[in-house]
Amino acid sequence: MRRSALLLAAGLAIASGAAADPAKPAKPAKAAARRSINDKGTMRQCSDRGGKTSCRRVAVFQGHNAAQSTLRTDPLDRPSGEVWLRAENLGEEFQGNIYKPDGSFDDAALAKLDDLWRDTRSGDVRAVRAELYEHLSRICDRFAGQRVDLVSGFRFHERDSSRHYHASAMDIRIKDISIRELYDFAQTLDVGVANEGALGIGIYPNSQFIHVDFRAPGEPSYRWTDWSGHDGRKKSPGRTQPARKPVS
């Protein structure tokens, strides 16, 4: 009996030593999969064909770098400078020209537009890239006589990777103009990263607007479709360029 007990104790000691043997590293824990900030999951999408309804699951966000062959190759024409814009969330609008008679930017006009671009939560105003206003004028020239509605401009509470946070983006729509037509025209304004004019252009079929922004230096042109809307989540605050001061 005693011999059996000793043998059992020795066996347990050997097993314990083997478990603690540093020469045998522990099996690493399985790394958690990282999700992109643009990963919004999937949704059920249905369509009718030949009287039959077929459904499939698609990604809510679908994005890709724009092919070089789709970018503009000739220089952009200077716009008229005319802008007719209404900020939907503010119920305010601007109608005027972003240029002075001598062709330089009219700081007073830009300041008024900056104010329409302000964050609707905090009221903060930032100086929007003047080049974005020139693209806005080109859109107004293309759809002459039609007011552009600004869905969202500067967002102070947005994540710092967002162009809205850096006051270089706009979400827009035009009454009685399809967002597909607006999206297609916006793509003709993209001269690409080589010409320091790469744009991010997105279409939001459910929310019925398009997004246009300037990419960060060195970033390629980007296109996407987003079937969701704004999620309203709070973002970390930060600061960008101070607002312009109107001049007399």
Residues 6+ apart with CB under 8 A from 119: 125, 154, 155, 156, 157
The residue-averaged pLDDT of 208-234 equals 82
Phi-psi region of 19 (alpha: psi -120 to 50; beta: other; left: phi over 0): alpha
Paired residues of 62 in beta bridges: 225
| pLDDT tens by residue, 40-56 | 577 676 778 788 887 87
Mean of pLDDT values over 18-40: 49
Task: Give dist(CA 139, CA 241) in Å, integer.
Answer: 25
pLDDT exceeds 60 at position 245: no
The dihedral region occupied by 70, where left means phi > 0, alpha psi between -120 and 50, and beta the remainder, is alpha
Reported as a single tens digit per residue, the pLDDT across 151-175 is 999 998 777 778 998 889 999 999 9
Give mean pLDDT, residues 134-142: 98
- Which residues lie closer than 8 Å to 4 by C-beta, 6 or more apart? none
* Residue 65: strand, helix, or coil: strand
**Which residue ranges make up each domain of the chain?**
81-226
CATH fold for domain 81-226:
Muramoyl-pentapeptide Carboxypeptidase; domain 2 (3.30.1380)
Query: Tokens 């522990």 sit at which residue?
Result: 26
Q: Is the separation of the CB atoms in 160 and 124 below 8 Å?
A: no
* pTM of the complete model: 0.73
pLDDT reported for residue 103: 97
Sheet containing strand 199-204, strands side by side: 61-65, 222-226, 199-204, 209-214, 169-174, 148-152, 82-87, 92-97
